[in-house]
Structure 1
Amino acid sequence: MLSSVHWLWLVLWLHLTSLEDVEAQFPIPCTRQEALDSRTCCPLWNGSPCGEMAGRGDCAQHFLEGADLPFDYRVDWPNSFYDKVCACYGNFDGFDCGVCSPGWQGPDCLEPHRVDRKEITDMTEDERELFISNLDHAKHTISNRYKILTSNDTTKAGNFKFHEATVYDLYVWLHYYAAKKYADTDDDAAHRGPAFPFWHRIFLLFIEREIRLLTGNHNFFIPYWDWTRTDHCNICTNDYFGAVDPDGHIDQGSRFSKWKVRSPSCSFLNASFLLFRKPGKDRSADTLPTSGDVRRTLCEDNYDTPPFNKMSKHSFRSRLEGFDIPRDSRNLQSAMHNLVHDYFNGTMSHLPTAANDPLFMVHHSFVDKLLEVWLERHRYASYPESDEIHKAQKKESYMAPFFPLRTNGYYWNRNILSLGYKYIEHSIPHPGAVHIGEVYHQIQWLWPVVGVACVVLLCVIVGVAIKCKGEKKTS
């Protein structure tokens, strides 16, 4: 029988999936009436649109006038709203070209900037406290850069409502917006397709930068949580993201106990739900992925395969996302990324609300780490191109709803060092296994050794055979 908490989530989930509203984040200058009327999102930077006078970018046309508007404004982003947006030059970035691209800093964005993303349990106490404090600050501070859009029909002129939101809640709603399914399909802009890991990579970089701008902590980074190192939620404590009681409520000793869940089912500024989680209490998802699951995932040679959705088999993306489920004794209904979401049995387990739980970002940081390991192993792979791929996730389609415009294929050949970060292995070796990132490198060196050994062995065998033949002749 379902508990009262389960019933609450069932009712909430049914309500969420029946909504017609769609929401997203928009730069504040582009929410003003003159920007909407002119269909131009080219905010001023230092007195000129997109910092044109400073050589940072220009206000570029990207949509032919008179063309039909897309059926869903995540498709052909951002054609439902603007014909012109900023196109940034060099290392400049942002909706007004006023910030630096990931990996760069300084007044002219010419100074390299790198951070090390650590495993969260390997952070020092001071590092952990600063990280959590910065998150809490972002949760309770209104953004001065973006607003939330709510609209029933974005193709009708003037049917826009914009709301203020905190920095962290912008991040939450951005994920909901991308995760919302298109009408009568299982498709969305960021899941069940080849864009999945890359969309989430840029999603993490987005909130990382917004928190840096808010706090002034330019070295803020999102740690990763290696869930293969444990058989339970070892970060569900008040030192990390909050202990939970038997009913799934966050312990009052944690600052996360007061975090309200933002969802499309209630007024954005009057949310009444609090974070909750019951890790491991759902029998269909009572375990976390193992290092063996990770190794099998990394062994897939194809990045993605037809039909390029949740039905794809022998696909790294599908295995990583968790739709290609391993056949083992656990009888799982999900795997890898999806299994971790399901394991928490609460806020994290439903797409529209998942990003409300700060566990989301450290989970996805590890997923991003695994993506980088696979890309290092498959340097000659490429983003798939096929008519079977949903339009919003095609290689040449712009990632919604990010500014400036970047295609899904743009980040394929840009490794994480070029984006300003790298992953640091845990200081304590993985119990009973080598570091995931070292698996391939060890195998790389193994094959030449095996090859040389085989050649030497062959030479020895041939030498012995010749010697034996010579001895027979002399006898």
Structure 2
Amino acid sequence: MVYVRKNISRLTRTERRRFVEALLEVKRRGEYDEFVRLHIAHFVGDGDRRLRAAHMTPSFLPWHRRFLLDLENALRRVDSSVTVPYWDWTRDRSAAAPPWTDDLLGGNGRPSDRQVMTGPFAYAGGRWTIRAGATEGRYLVRDLGRSRDPLALPSGAELKEALDDPVYDVAPWNSTVPRGFRNKLEGWGRGPDSWRNHNRVHRWVGGHMLGGASVNDPVFWVHHAFVDMQWQRWQERHRRHRYLPARPPGRGSDQHRRIVARHERLPPWDVTPDQLEDVSRIYRYA
């Protein structure tokens, strides 16, 4: 049966509670920290000569789609009624709005050390200890809006610019490309175009959302559900266009064996981007 991913601001009180409780149970079982470690392991940048599967690459969208499905399946093993909601950051733009309420993800970090003190994921509650990350800190950290150098969330117009581009991605298939839906949505750029859309949301949240260990903040999932929703919207607008590249770059290319083409295996799973383009039999967005 096809299930539904809802806007997090429209969840009922019961749906909010069940989503939070499922996340906390996945954490208690030790599964959640494995998701953090997997994301860290695949956070490979342009300058690395290894295969890039998760970021700065065409497979950014299918990689995170499969990653979301794995987390969602873990949640549904706890409670079959739960799905991952999405956070529409073009509309819910205040630190007082969902998902930052006490019955969802809690609020901002305190000024002294940016430790999150409210909500179910506060370290003081004893149910959310950081065990996998770039630092030794044990508590969740946020700096909503970037207090020292304020930053705004992406606007609907900025998101539309990405959705209007009919080409999925272009060579050299990395963070430097000025064209293509994938990078305009992922959000790499230079100068005034730095930190667009997806990337700027990570910067706006701050704290653990900066870098490979961003999964430590549960907002990661509701953010990426909205990003995944944009890929579906783009597909509906540009039905004749597909994931690119269709074929892997040849030996003469700087990107040879560094990116995943449409029919190549997407590590760490035995699945291809082609197989992840259509999820209409699994879920839909409300």
Instruction: Give the 5 Å matches for 1:145-156.
Output: none
Normalised TM-score (structure 2): 0.87
Tell me if 1:255 matches 2:124. Answer: no
Instruction: Give the 5 Å matches for 1:69-468.
Output: 113-141=1-29, 166-181=30-45, 184-185=48-49, 188-213=52-77, 215=78, 217-233=79-95, 234=97, 235-244=99-108, 245-247=110-112, 248-251=114-117, 253-258=118-123, 259-263=128-132, 265=134, 272-281=137-146, 286-324=151-189, 331=192, 333-351=194-212, 353-383=213-243, 384=245, 385-387=247-249, 388=253, 389=255, 391=257, 392-402=259-269, 405-412=270-277, 414=278, 416-418=279-281, 420-424=282-286
Q: Which whole-Å deviations, capped at 9, do the CAs of 1:410-449 have from their partners, x for residues lacking one?
A: 223x2x322x11111xxxxxxxxxxxxxxxxxxxxxxxxx
Tell me the secondary structure at the aligned position of residue 422 of structure 1: strand
Distance 1:264 1:344, change over 3 A: closer
Q: Which whole-Å deviations, capped at 9, do the CAs of 1:29-52 have from their partners, x for residues lacking one?
A: xxxxxxxxxxxxxxxxxxxxxxxx
Distance in 2 between the 1:355 and 1:371 partners? 20
Normalised TM-score (structure 1): 0.54
More strand by share: 1
Q: How many residues align?
A: 271
| Alpha-carbon contact 1:222-1:365 (below 8 Å) kept | yes
| Deviation of 1:198 (Å) | 0.8
Distance in 2 between the 1:316 and 1:332 partners? 15
Structure 2 residue ranges without an equivalent (≥5):
none
Tell me the secondary structure at the aligned position of residue 236 of structure 1: coil
Superposed structure 1 runs of 4+ greater than 6 Å apart: none
Root-mean-square deviation (Å): 2.2
| Alpha-carbon contact 1:284-1:333 (below 8 Å) kept | no
| Deviation of 1:397 (Å) | 2.5
Structure 1 residue ranges without an equivalent (≥5):
1-112, 142-165, 425-475
Distance 1:319 1:380, change over 3 A: same
The letter of the residue matching 2:182 is R
| Alpha-carbon contact 1:285-1:332 (below 8 Å) kept | no
Larger Rg: 1
Distance in 2 between the 1:238 and 1:174 partners? 28
